[in-house]
Amino acid sequence: MKGKGKITITEIFLLLSTVVFLVLAVSVHLWNMRGEPDIWSVRTQKTVMDDSLAIQQININTADAQQLQRLDGIGPVLAQRIVEWRTAHGAFTSVEELLEIEGIGNATLENLRDMIIIGDTK
């Protein structure tokens, strides 16, 4: 400020620019809170979807523990249990037999259903 009580054109411009910036920032924030994903979320979801489509079906009668871990929701413990069940009981004859393995419930089975096959054990 040059004198007491006097505001310059530059100060008015800076004040208005700040107000416009704040209004835009709040508007963008409120827009993103509407429940719709922003552009970055959509891109991330598409990438994840593309990656999941890239997974080929896995034959649970021939896959080893490491291959089974590529299935969504199957970690090292469940993969080992699947291999152990197969060793003890022979080849799976239906996908539903996975329910006999501790740690695999209906939700996990439904999640796996499209990613697994039971084919020839050759």
Mind listing the pLDDT tens digit for each residue in 90-117? Answer: 999 999 999 999 999 999 999 999 999 9
How many distinct helices (H) and strands (E) make up the chain? 5, 2
Instruction: Extract the tokens encoding 25.
Output: 């920032």
pLDDT of amino acid 49: 53
Domain boundaries of the chain, sorted by first residue: 1-39, 55-117
pLDDT of amino acid 47: 47
Whole-structure pTM value: 0.54
pLDDT of amino acid 43: 46
Helix, strand, coil shares of the chain, percent, nearest 5, are: 60, 5, 40
C-alpha–C-alpha distance, residues 90 and 88, integer Å: 6
pLDDT digits (tens, 9 = 90+) for 9-63: 999 999 999 999 999 888 887 776 676 555 554 444 444 455 555 557 899 999 9
- CATH numeric code, 55-117: 1.10.150.320
Q: Are 63 and 121 in contact, with CB atoms under 8 Å apart?
A: no
Q: Are 109 and 96 in contact, with CB atoms under 8 Å apart?
A: yes
